[in-house]
C-alpha cells in the first residue's frame, strides 16, 4: 500500500509540475508573410509574462535550457538558413549559472525563412523547447507545438 501511495503522489506531483512549467509564462503566436514567389517568412512570437525571461538559442553557458526548434519534415518546404532572433537580447551574469547568459524579457520573435517546392498550400510545423526564469526561480522547460500555414 505504501508503494501505491508513493507512486500516486509521484504521478500527481509530476503532473502539477508540468502544468506550472515554462509554458504557463509564455504565450506563442505565429504568422507567415510572403516575401516573393514561393518564399515566406514565418514568425513565432513569444510574449513573456511578468518578470520572467526566456533564454536565447545560444544561452551563453551550459546550464539554462536554450530555446530550440525542431521542425517536422515536410517534403514541400525547405528551410532557408537558421532561425533568427529579433528582440532586445540581455547579456548578464547570473550567479545561479555562475556565468554570463543571453536572454529576452517581455517579447522576442523567432524568424525562419522557408521556400516552397511549387505553388502549394502547406504548413511549417514543429516544436519549440524553452525555459524561463526570474530572479528567484527557474521553471521546468516546456515544449510547445506550432503549425503555421504557408503558400496557397
CATH classification at residue 52: 2.60.40.1250
For the chain, the domain total comes to: 1
pLDDT of res. 4: 36
pLDDT of res. 93: 95
Beta bridge partners of 80: 113
Task: pLDDT band for 2, please (50, 70, 90 cuts).
Answer: very low
Assess contact for 150 and 44: CB atoms under 8 A: no
Helices and strands, counts by H and E, the chain: 1, 11
pTM: 0.84
| Rounded Cα distance, 132 and 49, in Å | 10
Residue 20 has pLDDT above 60, yes or no: no
Residue for cell digits 504548413?
123
Task: pLDDT band for 102, please (50, 70, 90 cuts).
Answer: very high
| Rounded Cα distance, 149 and 32, in Å | 7
Residue 135 has pLDDT above 70, yes or no: yes
In angstroms, what CA-CA distances link 132 with 7, 45, 55, 135?
A: 28, 15, 7, 11
The alpha carbons of the chain give a radius of gyration, in whole angstroms, of 18
Three-state DSSP state, 2: helix
What's the mean per-residue pLDDT of the chain? 89
| Rounded Cα distance, 14 and 2, in Å | 18
53 CB burial (10 A radius; 0-12, 13-18, 19+): buried
Question: Which range marks the domain in which residue 27 is found?
Answer: 2-151
Amino acid at each position: 500500500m505504501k508503494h501505491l501511495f508513493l507512486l500516486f503522489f509521484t504521478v500527481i506531483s509530476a503532473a502539477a509540475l508540468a502544468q506550472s512549467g515554462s509554458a504557463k509564462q509564455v504565450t506563442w503566436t505565429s504568422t507567415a508573410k510572403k516575401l516573393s514567389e514561393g518564399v515566406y517568412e514565418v514568425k513565432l512570437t513569444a510574449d513573456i509574462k511578468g518578470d520572467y525571461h526566456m533564454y536565447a538559442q545560444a544561452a551563453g553557458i551550459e546550464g539554462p535550457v536554450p530555446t530550440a526548434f525542431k521542425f517536422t519534415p515536410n517534403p514541400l518546404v525547405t528551410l532557408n538558413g537558421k532561425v533568427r532572433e529579433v528582440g532586445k537580447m540581455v547579456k548578464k551574469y547570473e550567479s545561479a549559472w555562475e556565468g554570463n547568459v543571453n536572454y529576452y524579457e517581455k517579447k522576442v520573435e523567432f524568424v525562419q525563412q522557408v521556400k516552397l517546392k511549387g505553388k502549394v498550400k502547406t504548413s511549417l510545423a514543429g516544436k519549440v523547447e524553452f525555459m524561463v526564469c526570474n530572479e528567484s526561480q527557474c521553471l521546468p522547460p516546456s515544449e510547445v507545438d506550432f503549425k503555421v500555414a504557408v503558400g496557397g
